[in-house]
Homo-oligomer: A and B are copies of this chain.
């Protein structure tokens, strides 16, 4: 199958996937309170303005601002207390000249009032009279009707990943349920002659399957629904049967690559019919491959957990999270603390730990022999050395893509 091994750039690999795989576009309705981390399938519109009325943002007195002009500590303005705004009520008074109405934060301005005097700048002389020590301008401490959200505006755009505040905002504009994209179901098959299940005690030559569990975690964290199909050894019938089942039951299947040539060839064999690329110009992650079989995307990821993770972050996570390869990861700038070399003709991705040193965020590459597992947990993000660069120097500023 080696004639199929044609290394493509990451961008090319991504466009091959989006061109050749028709991603499921299913929509479902969920309650707001169960919408955390889901992705909005539609633009969320506000039917009415928020707030629906002019509102005080402090505790104080609603006044006609003009009546306070010139008020000072030495020459306070006198107001008659014309009542109190009941929280949640529409006030039934209309303010006359030199009248003030007590109002709490969030209360509705009475008719005639156009400004608020904070309670701190007033003194109550008796039940009917206050002194005001500071002038108020029209609009002071008032949140106008629609100032927060205008009626008819889009408050959250389609594709938004819903966090706690998006949940609150959706409630504010009157949604009980949200239309969100269905979570993609992702099957995971581990291949490798040397692999045993976590519960087994490995014999000499054997190691436990790590990738299935890292991938299950990454899939769930990205918004997918993982299903593990266990370990397949050097057995083409079993691999084919497991793949068929995983394709049947999922939207996307990941085959975590075996190290042995035999298993690698088997994987290629079962994917060859729908292969869309085999090999990416990235390190780590070069042996990544993609196929479309029965309209399902099948990704072959490298066997090394760290390499599989990078390939997952670049090719699978964006699809699960955003349904597209939009470039929307949170990044921060940091200072690299050692030189890093890179080869020509490939992008390098280096996992880094973020440290704080002398009021600076430092990116410290997580190094060590290939295949180490205990270092996996140390990285906070990764940096990219583009195709055009031969490396990065200690002290250089680098953009860290946070995991």
Report Cα–Cα, A59/B55, bound state, in Å. Answer: 71
Do A371 and B143 contact each other (CB < 8 Å), given the known contacts A90-B205, A198-B176? yes
Q: Are A370 and B259 in contact (CB under 8 A)?
A: no
Do A211 and B168 contact each other (CB < 8 Å), given the known contacts A57-B369, A88-B194, A221-B36? yes
A89 within 8 A of B: yes
Contacts of A57 in B (CB 8 A): 369-371
Q: Are B167 and A36 in contact (CB under 8 A)?
A: no
Contacts of A374 in B (CB 8 A): 50, 148-149, 155, 169
A339 within 8 A of B: no
Report Cα–Cα, A200/B211, bound state, in Å. Answer: 48
Q: Are B163 and A52 in contact (CB under 8 A)?
A: no
Q: Are A221 and B163 in contact (CB under 8 A)?
A: yes
Q: Are A33 and B170 in contact (CB under 8 A)?
A: no
Name the contact of A48 in the complex, choosing from B86, B201, B356, B373 (C-beta under 8 A). B201
A4 within 8 A of B: no
Q: Are B168 and A210 in contact (CB under 8 A)?
A: yes
Contacts of A147 in B (CB 8 A): 369, 372
A353 to chain B, nearest CB (A): 11
Size of the chain A interface, CB-CB below 8 angstroms: 108
Report Cα–Cα, A212/B217, bound state, in Å. Answer: 29
Q: Are B171 and A88 in contact (CB under 8 A)?
A: no
For A331, give the chain B residue with the smallest CB separation. Answer: B356
Contacts of A377 in B (CB 8 A): 156, 163, 165-166, 169
Name the contact of A193 in the complex, choosing from B88, B221, B258, B262 (C-beta under 8 A). B88
A174 within 8 A of B: yes
Task: In the complex, identify which listed stretch (A14-22, A102-110, A277-285) lies at the interface while the others stay far away.
Answer: A102-110
Q: Are A143 and B213 in contact (CB under 8 A)?
A: no
For A58, give the chain B residue with the smallest CB separation. Answer: B370
What string of 1s and 0s marks CB contacts (under 8 Å) between A187-225 and chain B? 000001111011111111111111111111110110000
Contacts of A87 in B (CB 8 A): 192-194, 205, 258-260, 262-263
Q: List 19 A-B contacts (CB under 8 A).
A: A52-B202, A55-B371, A57-B369, A87-B258, A88-B194, A90-B204, A90-B205, A108-B205, A143-B371, A147-B369, A162-B217, A165-B376, A168-B211, A168-B217, A169-B376, A174-B208, A175-B198, A332-B334, A356-B399
